[in-house]
Amino acid sequence: MTDISAPEDVGALWLQMLQRAMARAAHDVKDALNGVSVNLEVIRSRAERPDMPAASVLQFAEAASNQLDRLTRLLDAVLVLGRSERQPVDIAATLRRVATICSASSSNADAAVTVTEDGMLDSTASRVDGSVARIALLAPLLEASTGADRSTRASDLACALSTGADAIRVTMSAAERRVAMPEQVAEILRAGGVRWTEDENTLSLFFSRA
């Protein structure tokens, strides 16, 4: 992520990252709108034909609805992530929103970003600054999907959330890609109290609990 410089202002860095993620997700927005448009056109043209049973449009109404849901989730995530984070930050909610945005940009590489949560999940409120936590979650996911486009199918990114006595743990892994914390944001994250470990394909992040 060479475009991420190291600005002093963590909030500015966060907005810069969010903008980049949205630019990449824009194709997904267009695809969703195209899907809505085409499916509505099927409904319109079939509605004009008396020989077409009403039930024949159901599938396309559902498809259009699904595309609108996809858009709504994405835009909700953007709206929330565009605002200042309340303290203490909820790591689980932030991870889900970040994953929604990355999932949209990763879909250009035909790869999914999944989030699984431990069944025994405790409170995921953290003492870490909201913008720092967002950067810690978004930066590695964006880095992992950089360079992937539709001509090279990327592997799925799996995020798992669990809670320990002192920390909330997030692991990010991919089958065929290295998931690591970009060097450019490492200093800010360390200063913000975020810890992490890396092995070949997995990055584990630790956020101190509130």
110: left (phi over 0), alpha (psi -120 to 50) or beta: left
User: Could you tell me the end-to-end alpha-carbon distance of the chain, in angstroms, rounded to an integer?
Assistant: 30
For another protein, the binding residue among 11, 15, 66, 195 (CB under 8 A) is: 66
Q: Is 15 in the site for another protein (CB under 8 A)?
A: no
φ, ψ for residue 11, nearest 5 deg: -60, -40
Q: How is 176-190 classified by DSSP, letter by letter?
A: SS-----HHHHHHHH
Closest separation in Å from C-beta 159 to another protein: 22
Cβ-based nearer residue to another protein, 36 or 78: 36
Gap between the Cα atoms of 185 and 1, Å rounded:
9
Q: Quick one: the chain helix, strand, coil %, rounded to 5?
A: 55, 15, 30
| Candidate residues 4, 14, 17, 35; the one interacting with another protein per rule CB under 8 A | 35
- The residue among 42 and 186 lying less far from another protein, judged by its C-beta, is 42
If one asks whether residue 176 binds another protein (CB under 8 A), the answer comes out as no
Site size with another protein, rule: CB under 8 A: 31
* Interface pattern 73-112 for another protein (x via CB under 8 A): -----------------------------------xxx--
What span, in angstroms and rounded, lies between the C-alpha atoms of 151 and 46? Answer: 35
Residues in contact with another protein by CB under 8 A are: 27, 30-39, 41-42, 44-46, 49, 52, 59-60, 63, 66-67, 108-110, 149-153
